Amino acid sequence: MKKMCCVVLASVIIMVLIIRQCLADRVELKIRGVTSIAKTDDDFVCVTLDWWPPNKCNYNQCPWGTSGILNLELQNKTLINAIKAFDRLRVRIGGSLQDQVLYEVGYGVKDCPGFNRTDNALFGFSGGCLSMERWDELHHLFNQTGAVMTFGLNALFGRKKSKDDNALWVGDWDSQNARDLMEYTFSKGYKVDSYELGNELCGSGVGARVEADQYGKDMLTLKKVVEEIHPNPSTRPKVLGPGGFYDEKWFNTFLQTSGPNVVDGLTHHIYNLGSGDDKTLINKVQDPYYLDQVAQTLKDVTTGIQSFGPWTEAWVGEAGGAYNSGGKDVSHYFADGFWYLDQLGMTSTFNHKVYCRQALIGGNYALLNTTTFIPNPDYYGALLWNKLMGKIVLGVSHDSSPYLRAYAHCSRHGSGVTVLLINMSNSTTFEVYARDDLNLYPGNQASLQSVDNEPEREEYHLSPDGGNIQTDVVLLNGTPLKITREFDIPALNPKLVDPALPITVQPDSIVFATLKGFRAPACA
């Protein structure tokens, strides 16, 4: 009787698997492995640290706590280990208040106040100050973790408000305080990968703005200062700007005025999900048609560079999805990964070199919990991207549902290709077969490469705990990801799969799959 029960149970399991296989959508994923379509930096994944003080509030909540640059607990073990896990994580220090920050260095600086709530001031706060003691502490964190620093400079220093336009700031940028900071930094042997001038002062600006031709002249000033302090080109920090929302005419004038080989990185910001209190935010992050809208901006930036600044490269300098600190019921949950990882994939295809996520910690859109420092789901998505996706971007396509997003890169380590598959459908399972479409030979049919003697495929399936996409607990191959008792980031181990089998992408899930045996000449 017991033996019969086992046979019946086995039969039921087989039937369930057969039914699931029949109900799943078969997808042929065509990977164009002969030639690449774009290339990112090795440090493509980037995060931000912001200046906001604890009393930065939106929508009757104050989600920043002590996560601002001046208040963050830099010795926190989880923070240190979270940065270390990337080996070389780019961190951009900047944000709305950076254009009100004084650096406590040089003869002209006598006071070093903190940010104070002031209703009639820019963004509701008076100017703040970065002490050199705090600057030393920040560099200790970066040296300890191997992080790469991009630092945002105060671009309003020395300017005045226009008499005719309250938002317009006029006059030349006064570089002296920035120069003093750079000289101090150089004297200490600290490394800064890049300096970015200003935050959201381009186009119509956010709170304040500067005209494009003036900004271009100020970039020339910054470049000269950097070259004087760092005469060795091999160790010289890059110069970035303007760090704001894309405005075609403004950006083109900016590049023309600054001229060749001045702006090393053209930085623009993306908050394509709208405000943090938008009730439809949960729907937007699952809507491929909505998410596609930002593609035009990414294309316009790269087109503008080709026409007006071929010496520079495109960066997304800040992106948090929803502005005003993100959405408290979406931005730190598993659901946000649909938007975030899709953004990483899409941005890379438009030849952007860096993508900076707002924020590492602070606000509702943080990768780490603002209070506990425990990683939110998007942290693990970023870590897997950094671990698996190389800098060479391949074209990929399929004829299935638009709710299945697909991206492919040469693998970061070793041979083969890694694909990212994002299933935004809450009901459809996809069975994905990867094929090489032989894109140098358009008359040929896409072919499924032989899998004889190929190594097993490595798969990383991310899914929400309990099937609820509004959870902050993410599962990797069915196991919850949690920091260890020693505050270490858990190991991200794949499951090994027979390469002859399809990649199964369950509803509301995200899959990274490394196809070690996929022979892509572009990756050779």
Rounded CA gap, 99 and 246, in Å? 19
pLDDT at residue 19, as a whole number: 45
pLDDT at residue 107, as a whole number: 87
The CATH number of the domain holding residue 404 is 2.60.40.1180
Domain for residue 222, yes or no? yes
Q: How far is Cα of residue 429 from the mean position of the Cα atoms in its chain?
A: 28
Contact 198, 99 (CB under 8 A): yes
Examine the fold and report which residue of 375, 391, 407 is the final residue of a domain before the chain moves on: 391
480-492: string of b/e by CB count within 10 Å (b at 16+)? ebebeeeeebeeb
Residues 360 and 279 in one domain: yes
Domain for residue 61, yes or no? yes
Q: Reduced to 3 states, what is the DSSP secondary structure of residue 263?
A: coil
Domain for residue 130, yes or no? yes
Residues 29 and 120 in one domain: no
Beta-sheet pairing, 169-170 with 128-130: unpaired
Residues 263 and 403 in one domain: no
Residues 69 and 119 in one domain: yes
Residues 28 and 69 in one domain: no
Residue 465: DSSP 8-state: G
Q: Reduced to 3 states, what is the DSSP secondary structure of residue 397?
A: strand
Residues 362 and 405 in one domain: no
Domain for residue 429, yes or no? yes
Q: What are the tokens at 142?
A: 């970066």
End-to-end CA distance of the chain: 58
Residue-by-residue DSSP string for 171-217: S----HHHHHHHHHHHHTT---SEEEE-SS-STT-SS-B--HHHHHH
Residues 300 and 160 in one domain: yes
Residues 26 and 121 in one domain: no
Quick one: which of 44, 31, 40 has its CA closest to 417? 31
Residues 172 and 291 in one domain: yes
- Cis geometry, peptide bond prior to residue 490 (ω within 30 degrees of 0): no
Residues 366 and 400 in one domain: no
Residues 382 and 403 in one domain: no
pLDDT, one tens digit for every residue, the chain (524 residues): 555 544 444 454 444 444 444 579 999 999 999 999 999 999 999 999 999 999 999 999 999 999 999 999 999 999 999 999 999 999 999 999 999 999 999 988 888 999 999 989 999 999 999 999 999 999 999 999 999 999 999 999 999 999 999 999 999 999 999 999 999 999 999 999 999 999 999 999 999 999 999 999 999 999 999 999 999 999 999 999 999 999 999 999 999 999 999 999 999 999 999 999 999 999 999 999 999 999 999 999 999 999 999 999 999 999 999 999 999 999 999 999 999 999 999 999 999 999 999 999 999 999 999 999 999 999 999 999 999 999 999 999 999 999 999 999 999 999 999 999 999 999 999 999 999 987 665 555 555 555 557 899 999 999 999 999 999 999 999 999 999 999 999 999 999 999 999 999 999 999 999 999 999 999 99
Contact 289, 342 (CB under 8 A): no
Beta-sheet pairing, 238-244 with 265-270: parallel
Domain for residue 153, yes or no? yes
Residues 340 and 372 in one domain: yes
Q: To the nearest 10°, the Cα dihedral for 390, 395, 401, 405?
A: 20
Domain for residue 445, yes or no? no
Rounded CA gap, 492 and 383, in Å? 9
Residue 397: how many CA atoms within 13 Å on its side-chain side? 8
Domain for residue 79, yes or no? yes
pLDDT at residue 208, as a whole number: 98
Instruction: Say how many domains are in the chain.
Output: 2
Examine the fold and report which residue of 354, 372, 391 is the final residue of a domain before the chain moves on: 391
Domain for residue 315, yes or no? yes
pLDDT tens digits, residue range 141-157? 999 999 999 999 999 99
The CATH number of the domain holding residue 176 is 3.20.20.80
Rounded CA gap, 153 and 498, in Å? 51
Structural domain including 112 reads 40-391
Would you name the residues annotated as active-site residues? 200, 318
